[in-house]
Amino acid sequence: MELIDGNKTAADIVAELKAEVAALPGRKPCIALVRVGDDPASVSYVKKKEKTAAEIGIESRIILPPISITQDELFNILDDLNADPTVDGILVQAPLPKHIDEVAVFRRVSAAKDVDGFNTINLGKVAQEDDTGFVACTPAGIMELLARSGTDLKGKHVVVLGRSLIVGKPVALLALQKKTGANGTVTICHSGTSNLPAITRQADVLIAAIGRPEFVTADMVKPGAVVIDVGINRVPDASKKTGYRLTGDVHFPSVSPLCSKITPVPGGVGPMTVAMLMKNTVKAYHLATAS
C-alpha cells in the first residue's frame, strides 16, 4: 500500500509556482481574499492562503467585512475588485453568514477572476472541456494527486461518493474528460443511492467526498483500489489535547491495507486545495496580462 503524500505534492507545486512568479516582469500576481466574520476555521484557512501566497511571491489583499454586512454591500466590494485591474483572483471564503446567498456571491465574482472555480461559467467550461476556465481547487487537487502518483484513469471505473458543487460534481466531470490522465468511466453515488457498497466495490478509483466521518469501511472497497479521501471531519477524542481528532470519510485502519494507494487525512487532499488556488491565481494573471 502506497500513501499518496499531499503535503509533498503541494510543496512541489508551490516550488514550481515560486520559480515561475520570480521570473515574471513587472507587477506580481494578486489575489483578494474576502472573509466575512470570524468563523475560527475560516480564519485559519485564510491565514494559510495568505502565507502560501507570500511564499510564492503572490500579493494578497485581505478584506474583512463584518458579519453584519448585507448581501448588496458584499456585492459592492466584489464589483470593485472585479473592476480593479491589479487584482487577478478573488476568493470569498465559505461558509458565509446565513443571510447571504452563497451561490449568488459565487456568481457575482467575475468569471475571469474566479480562482475558486464556482462561477456558473467556469463550471460550464469544465463540462465543455474548455481549458481557459478555472477548475475548483479541491477537484483540481485530486486530479493532480492522481496524475503525480501515476494513476491513469483511462478505462478505469471511478466511483465518486458525494455530489456537492465543490467536489463531487466537478471531479466526476474532470475524470470523464477526453484528456490524458482522465477518460474514466464514472459513477456518482450519494445519500439516495441504494445498495451503495455493491457499487463502491466496483471502483478501481474511489473518491470519497460525502462529509461523514469514517463512512467508507473495508466491505465497501475492492482490493487493489486507489482511494482518495476528501473528508475532513472533527471527531471527539478524549486522548487528544484539543479534545478531538481529524478523520476522513474513510475508515483508514480497515481500508488502507486493502488499497494499492490511499490519501491520508490530514496531509492528503487538504494541502492540495491551497496549492491549486495559487496555481489558478497565476493562471488568471497570465490570462489578464495576455489580453
Q: Whole-prediction pTM value?
A: 0.95
pLDDT digits (tens, 9 = 90+) for 204-244: 999 999 999 999 999 999 999 999 999 999 889 999 998 99
pLDDT digits (tens, 9 = 90+) for 258-283: 999 999 999 999 999 999 999 999 99
Coil, strand, or helix at residue 229? strand
Task: Give, for 282, the enclosing helix (H) or strand (E).
Answer: helix 269-290
Mean pLDDT, the chain, as a whole number? Answer: 96
In the set 5, 49, 88, 229, the catalytic residue is 49
pLDDT digits (tens, 9 = 90+) for 5-18: 999 999 999 999 99
In the set 5, 114, 116, 204, the catalytic residue is 116
Q: How far apart are CA 29 and CA 27, in angstroms?
A: 7
Domains delineated in the chain: 26-111 (3.40.50.10860), 137-270 (3.40.50.720)
> Which residue carries 450519494 as its cell?
190
pLDDT digits (tens, 9 = 90+) for 63-97: 999 999 999 999 999 999 999 999 999 999 999 99
Residue 78 has a pLDDT of: 98
Who contacts 76 (Cβ-Cβ below 8 Å, separation ≥6)? none
| 116 labelled catalytic | yes
Q: How far apart are CA 248 and CA 250, in angstroms?
A: 5
Q: How far apart are CA 43 and CA 39, in angstroms?
A: 6
Q: Residue 41: pLDDT band by 50, 70, 90 thresholds? A: confident
Q: How far apart are CA 59 and CA 270, in angstroms?
A: 22
Report the percentage of the chain scoring pLDDT > 70.
100
Mean pLDDT of 158-169: 96
Report the percentage of the chain scoring pLDDT > 90.
96
In the set 5, 88, 93, 279, the catalytic residue is 93
State the virtual CA torsion across 288, 103, 66, 46 in degrees, nearest 10.
-60
Among residues 167, 165, 204, 200, which one has the least CA distance to residue 185? 204
| 93 labelled catalytic | yes
